[in-house]
Every structure is written in structure tokens, then in C-alpha cells.
Amino acid sequence: MKFKYSTASTISGPLLDSRGRMVKRPILWLALHSADGGAIDVPAVIDSGADTTTLNIQYAEAQGIELDNTKPRIIMGVGKGQVPVYMGMFPFKIKEMDIHMEVPAWYVDSENVNILLGREQFFETFRIKFEQDHDTFEVVSAPKLSKK
């Protein structure tokens, strides 16, 4: 399925690049089940530079997901220097495709991170084709890779 890139924004308005053009990102809308039985819709950036899906720890709390707080790991690239993260599974539904899935995720306590859909498992489930020059990206189900 093809999607349009979405304009990135800040509190003060659209985010601009070094040329003064609006920054656009490959964003999918996800539906999450909350711990109280409700549902919330959230944007998630498809991030080919993220090894593992990384998201704000607030989503674990909102969904009632228990994290392994005994073994924090350290990652780089989502904050200032090294950042501790906690392992957990991230269940969600891709709204436009009506696909439910669950991927391993790093949960981080950082206001700089919302949801970054990383390569581990997500890119093994879908073929992702970025066409920034056409302002579109495509997400297509891919055959599961066989384990060797």
C-alpha cells in the first residue's frame, strides 16, 4: 500500500530543513490498545536507520506492558550520548492496512523519542520502498524469511 510522506512539525510550526523546505517523514498511523481497554491512535516514523523499534516509555505504561527493568541496555542515537533502554514487546495495528503485529522494542525515557519503527522484525515482515522524490513510500507484506 502506498502512503504520502507527512510534514514534520514542532510547537512553533512546520520543521524546516537547511534550505527552508518543510521536512517530510514516512509516518504510519498505529492503533494501540490501552491498559484501560480503550484505544489510542499514534503516529510512527518508519526508520531504516533504527536497528530495533524504539519508543517512548510512556507507551509501555499506557498499554500496561511490563518491561524488563532489571536489565537496562545502553543505546546511542536517540538522545544525548548513551541512553538506557528497557526491552519489551510492542503490539500495534497498522490502521490503514488493518494489520496487527507485535515487534521487539526498546523503551526509552526521553522526550526526544516518540515511535520509531525499526528494522528488526518490521522490515522482515514488510518490503519498504521509500520514494521521497515522489513524496510517497510503500509498505507491502513480504514472505517471512526462513530461519536457517
Question: Mind listing the pLDDT tens digit of every residue in the chain (148 residues)?
Answer: 999 999 998 888 899 999 999 999 999 999 999 988 899 999 999 999 999 999 999 999 999 998 877 778 888 766 667 888 899 999 999 999 999 999 999 999 888 789 999 999 999 999 999 999 999 999 999 876 544 4
112 burial (CB, 10 Å; 0-12 / 13-18 / 19+) is: exposed
Q: Which residues contact 71 (CB under 8 A, 6 or more apart)?
A: 87
Task: Give the pTM.
Answer: 0.88
Task: Determine the 3-state secondary structure of 96 from DSSP.
Answer: helix
Nearest C-alpha neighbor of 88 from the set 68, 73, 59, 70: 68
Q: Which domains does the chain have, with CATH numbers?
A: 2-141 (2.40.70.10)
- Grid cell 526526544 in the structure block, residue: 112
Position 137, amino acid: F
